[in-house]
A = this chain, B = another copy of it.
Amino acid sequence: MVTEENKSIEKRENILNVAEILFAQQGFEAVSIRELAKVADINIAMISYYFGSKEKLYEEIVLRKLTSTEKMKSIIEQHNTYTDKLFAISDLYADVFIENRNFHNIIFREMAMEQRTMMNAVITENLYKNFTLLSDIIRKGIKAGEFKKNIDIELVATTVIAVNKLFSTSPIVICKILNVDESEFTYGEKHKKRLKKYLHNLLTSYLAIP
């Protein structure tokens, strides 16, 4: 059922979605209000009307999709061994990064900025929390005797994020590397499976006790 109220919300939502794609493709400053309005098929004044300003629109895009630690925690609890917990989180990263790759393009671009902003702080904090969950699993896995002792916990966690990130947010170069046609490569299940499987193997060989 589509009520009249929902229509307005849908229009707002549509602006957010279009803006997310454009910001991801070109960067925040490169996208003008006029271009955004054209693509979203709305009047330029509607952005100020709905969001207040271009800056606030950007903030809303970022804040609405930050992966909640709660979701990660519940996934962690669903598995017994630390290996399974680690695999599940690694898989989640692949899924979330690929599914929302436009969004994560924005996030990692923001992360690379060296000038600190309010938004930057929020993003850093969020990523750090997610990272902590990851490194905690590894730390506990060591204590439980499931993983080797002399491993670099922080950098393994970094690796999981780094590989998933590069894979999902640099499609052009990844296509060349995997020798896949770019038009065909829509990050389908096939390549996602390959990525997940590889990370499982990589983590196992580095962490698992032979």
Contacts and interface: CB of A to CB of B under 8 A. Distances in A.
B152 A194 contact: yes
Contacts of A202: 156, 159, 202, 206
Contact of A27 (B29, B131, B158, B206): B29
Nearest to A169: B112
A198 interface: yes
B108 A170 contact: yes
A134 to B, nearest CB: 10
Interface residues of A, number: 55
Interface stretch (A39-47, A64-72, A136-144, A174-182): A174-182
Nearest to A171: B114
A198 B155 CA distance: 7
A26 B109 CA distance: 10
A165 interface: yes
A151 B155 CA distance: 21
Most buried by B among A159, A174, A197: A159
| Residue from A170, A195, A197 having most chain B Cβ neighbours under 10 A | A170
Given A162-B163, A166-B166, 20 more contacts: A27-B30, A28-B30, A29-B29, A111-B172, A114-B171, A124-B172, A124-B173, A124-B176, A127-B173, A154-B179, A155-B163, A155-B194, A155-B198, A159-B163, A161-B166, A162-B166, A162-B167, A163-B163, A201-B206, A205-B205
The 6 lowest CB-CB distance pairs between A and B, nearest first, are: A162-B166, A29-B29, A162-B162, A29-B30, A155-B198, A205-B205
